[in-house]
Amino acid sequence: MADVKNRRWGRLVALGVTLAVLVPLGYLWATSLVPGEYNPAEMGYADYGGGPPMGHEHHAMSGMSVADLTGPKTGTPNVDVTLVARKQKFQLASGETIDGYTVNGTSPGPLIRARVGDLVQVTFVNESVKDGATLHWHGIDVPNAEDGVAGVTQDAVPVGGKHVYRFKATQTGTYWYHSHQVSSDEVKGGLFGPIVIAPAAAGEVIATIHTYDGKRTLNGRTGTARVELPAGTTARVRVINTDNAILRVGLIGTPYRVVAVDGRDVHGPTPVTAAYPLPAGGRVDLEAVVPAGGMRLVAGTSALSLGIGPVDAPQGELQAETVDLLTYGTTAPIGFDPAKADRNFEYRIGRRPGFLDGVPGLWWTINGHKFPDVPMFMVAEGDVVRMKISNTSGQAHPMHLHGHHAVVLSRNGVAATGSPWWVDTLEVGNKETYEIAFVADNPGLWMDHCHNLPHASEGLMTHLMYEGTTTPYRVGGNSHNEPE
């Protein structure tokens, strides 16, 4: 009798324990589900960064739809190109066959060149990318409706569809374009290309780095290549990292200067021989006078490099030393006072086990919250904004804010003392903290995400939103918009 009672009791305890585990798990699972289709303007919770919350009346007064924040609708474009996206097998310039995506039949796609003041018009045609595609102008602070983010600023262009982008080129620099629909797959597969805002110059060299199918390339070719330039030419090498991870790059054979970062000139750049750590999505312009013996752009190791000069420069590796923009160059005014910030945001990147959309895993968190319950950084036009980005997630993250350039104020509490360090893509290493600041001068709804694109698709993604912004676009479900 006592035995039976004990056994029954034992079973009850076991059931209790099972339920104690399963019920909260079930709850966590259920609450992690991302709605089938959602409005990105209503995602997560509002974070006003200590500034005044914007009420609904306010919304109504300043309410604006992303769709209305377009570039100039009239005017004859100075640059008028058509870019056609295809899913296809294609050959790298070095011969290897890749099954991926092309723009006008090649990857990288064609270089687009504009000058400051130009009206740029790009007619984007999706010939055969079955998930749909868009073009985002990475680092160009275009009006919101031209930003090319599926489900946020437009619908993904379906096979057979087209979309016209129009914007004014306002800042010189090295930029790139890429699909922002299923970007973790489409960018990786080749749906991107370079865009330079500057007149063509004799010493210009474009160096687009990308890994196709495990093969790292420079300008779509593996191994080494050569650019013929006479000795004495001032060469400006525009390096673009379209991959998901940081890469050390630099010139060997002569000292060089880091003259621009993320499309913004560096002030007072001095000659260096150290390597430059180029974040995923970031760009850097390296300048040097071509020596008689030639020089070499090295991307990672000299196995992937570009000999530049009258003769093929000797092989060699990058120095272990690294250029640090926190102290590089000389100070200059930044045009606003970060000490008088209207908003102070925190973007704390962490990681914890749980469910994301019902899938168990170790997921990224932003301020302790998992996607889609992440902070919506709310601003009003004209605000001076500070943001402290910290990272304890165990991995580095190249953080990219759309539509704005921010200046780095400090790293790990150490104030920046070099040239104003303007970024659109900032590598935040594990256990690092950066303080950045910017002026909210480009209304709309802007992505703020990790440019290691698989991380973004795993939820390391949120938005900066101007008060009262609305969007007619939706993510997921029947919209077929999947920006990450």
Binding site for ligand C2O (CB under 6 A): 136, 138, 178, 180, 281, 400, 402, 447, 449, 451
For residues 257 and 451, which CB has a smaller minimum distance to ligand C2O in the complex?
Answer: 451
Residues in contact with Cu ion, shown as a per-residue x/- string from 390 to 429 under the rule CB under 5 A? -------x--------------------------------
- Structure-token pair, residue 220: 């779509």
Other C-beta atoms lying within 10 Å of the C-beta of residue 335: 8
For residues 180 and 411, which CB has a smaller minimum distance to ligand C2O in the complex?
Answer: 180
For residues 389 and 440, which CB has a smaller minimum distance to Cu ion in the complex?
Answer: 389
Sort strands 384-391 and 343-356 into parallel, antiparallel or unpaired: parallel
Query: How deeply is 410 buried, as exposed, middle or buried, from its count of CB atoms within 10 A (0-12, 13-18, 19+)?
Result: middle
List the one residue from 452, 462, 469, 481 that touches Cu ion (CB under 5 A): 452
Please tell me what DSSP assigns to residue 335: S
For residues 168 and 402, which CB has a smaller minimum distance to Cu ion in the complex?
Answer: 402
Q: Which of 42, 150, 153 is nearest to 483 (CA)?
A: 150
CB of 398: closest distance to Cu ion in angstroms? 7
Number of residues that bind Cu ion (CB under 5 A): 4
For residues 152 and 227, which CB has a smaller minimum distance to ligand C2O in the complex?
Answer: 152
- Determine, following the binding rule CB under 5 A, whether residue 463 of this chain makes contact with Cu ion: no
CB of 316: closest distance to ligand C2O in angstroms? 32
Size of the chain in residues: 484
Cα–Cα distance measured from residue 309 to residue 323, given in angstroms and rounded to the nearest whole number: 24
Q: 30: phi > 0 → left, psi -120 to 50 → alpha, else beta; which?
A: alpha
How far apart, in Å, are the Cα atoms of 206 and each of 58, 241, 276, 356? 46, 11, 16, 40
For residues 132 and 281, which CB has a smaller minimum distance to ligand C2O in the complex?
Answer: 281
List the one residue from 455, 463, 474, 480 that touches Cu ion (CB under 5 A): 455
CB of 186: closest distance to Cu ion in angstroms? 18
Cα–Cα distance measured from residue 365 to residue 232, given in angstroms and rounded to the nearest whole number: 51
451 binds, among Cu ion, ligand C2O, none (CB under 5 to 8 A by kind): ligand C2O
136 binds, among Cu ion, ligand C2O, none (CB under 5 to 8 A by kind): ligand C2O
Contact between residue 351 and residue 393 where contact means Cβ atoms under 8 Å apart: yes
CB of 484: closest distance to ligand C2O in angstroms? 8
CB of 230: closest distance to ligand C2O in angstroms? 35
Contact between residue 16 and residue 448 where contact means Cβ atoms under 8 Å apart: no
CB of 482: closest distance to ligand C2O in angstroms? 13
Residues numbered 145-164 forming contacts with Cu ion, rule: CB under 5 A: none
Torsion sign over Cα 84, 86, 91, 96: positive
CB of 424: closest distance to Cu ion in angstroms? 15
| Distant-in-sequence, close-in-space partners of 251: CB < 8 Å, separation ≥ 6 | 237, 286, 288, 295, 296, 297, 298, 308
449 binds, among ligand C2O, Cu ion, none (CB under 5 to 8 A by kind): ligand C2O
Cα–Cα distance measured from residue 101 to residue 105, given in angstroms and rounded to the nearest whole number: 8
For residues 313 and 450, which CB has a smaller minimum distance to Cu ion in the complex?
Answer: 450
236 binds, among ligand C2O, Cu ion, none (CB under 5 to 8 A by kind): none
Contact between residue 174 and residue 154 where contact means Cβ atoms under 8 Å apart: no
DSSP 296-316: EEEESEEEEEEEEESSPPPP-
CB of 96: closest distance to ligand C2O in angstroms? 25
